[in-house]
Structure 1
C-alpha cells in the first residue's frame, strides 16, 4: 500500500460527516489504473459484476457511507472529453455502487469559478489532501493542509462546482 493510500485510509477513518473530491485534470496515469486504461483503449470493458472490480477503496467508501459520511466527487472536464475521461465515465458506476455521489462539470461552465490549482480531497471541511501530479499524470505525492482559510477556499470551490455540475446518471459524453 502506498503512502498516499495510507494517508487517505487514515483520514477517511477519522472522517465523521463529509468527504469531497475535486478532480480537474483530463488525464491521469496512476499505477494499476494506467494499465486498465490502456486495456480499455484496446476494447476491454469492465464487468457489471462487482466481484470482478470491487477493491479496498470501494469497501472504504461503502463503510464510510454506512457510518454517515456523505461522499461526493466532482469532475471538471474539457469537452469534447479525452479518452481518459470516457474511460472514467464508463467506470464511474463502480464509485456510485460504493456509495459516492458523482457529478460532471464541463470546463467551459467553470470559467468564472475560483478553483484551487490542484485536485484535492476535503475531509469534514477541515483537512485537505492535495493531490499533486506530474505533467504526464503520474502521482507526485499528497500533501496535507489543515489551514482553516484554505479549507474554506476548497469547500467554497467544491460547492460552486457541485451546484453547476450534472449528476453522473444524466451526464452524456
Structure 2
C-alpha cells in the first residue's frame, strides 16, 4: 500500500487536503508539549525535524500546488489552536492553507470524512476513531470518478469561502 508521501510524490499538478475535525491524535507528543507551554521550538520550522516541510517544498518546487482547507468550530478547540500555531512554517514551505468557520459550511455538500485528492484523479479518505486517533482501517483509496468529482467540488467550495491562514484570527 503506498504511503501518503508516495502518493504525493507521484502528483504532477495538485494535492489538496480537506480537514473537518476539531481534534486529531491528541496523543501526539508535540500537542502534549504545546499544551504544557512549549512554543516556538526551532524544530517547528526545521525541515530536517519536520519532514512534512521538506516534502511540501519539494512538491511546490516541482510545480505541484499543495492546498489544505480546515473546517473548524468556533470558538476553536485547543487542538485547532495548536494546528494554527504550527501552520506558519507550512505556509512558508509553500503549502497554501485556509480556515473555514463551520457555521459558514452549512450549505455545502461535504463527504463524510477528511480526504486527500491527488491530481483530481484519486482520493484517499482518512478514518479516525471518536477520540481523534487513527482508526485501524485509517485509509480508504478510490479513483471512482463520481467520488473524485464530489471531493473536488467540496474542496473548491470550501476553499472559495475559507480565510487564508495569514488572515484567520482564532476565536
Tell me whether the two structures share a fold, i.e. TM-score over 0.5: yes
- What is the root-mean-square deviation in Å for CA atoms of aligned residues? 1.6
The match for 1:145 is 142
Superposed, 1:106-145 pairs within 5 Å as 106-140=101-135, 141-145=138-142
Number of residues of Structure 1 aligned to a counterpart in Structure 2: 167
Counterpart of 1:131 in 2: which secondary structure?
A: strand
Q: 1 CA distance for matches of 2:122 and 2:15?
A: 10
Gapped runs of 5+ residues in structure 2? Answer: none
The ranges of structure 1 where at least 4 consecutive aligned residues each deviate by more than 6 angstroms after the TM superposition are none
Q: Deviations over 1:7-55 (max 9, x none)?
A: 2111111100000000000000166xx1111111111113357338742
Q: 2 CA distance for matches of 1:47 and 1:38?
A: 13
Match for residue 32 of structure 2 among 27, 35, 38: 38
Are residue 47 (structure 1) and residue 41 (structure 2) matched? yes
Structure with the higher fraction of residues in helix conformation? 1
Q: 2 CA distance for matches of 1:51 and 1:133?
A: 28
Q: 2 CA distance for matches of 1:54 and 1:39?
A: 15
Q: 1:52 to 1:128 in 2, by over 3 A?
A: closer
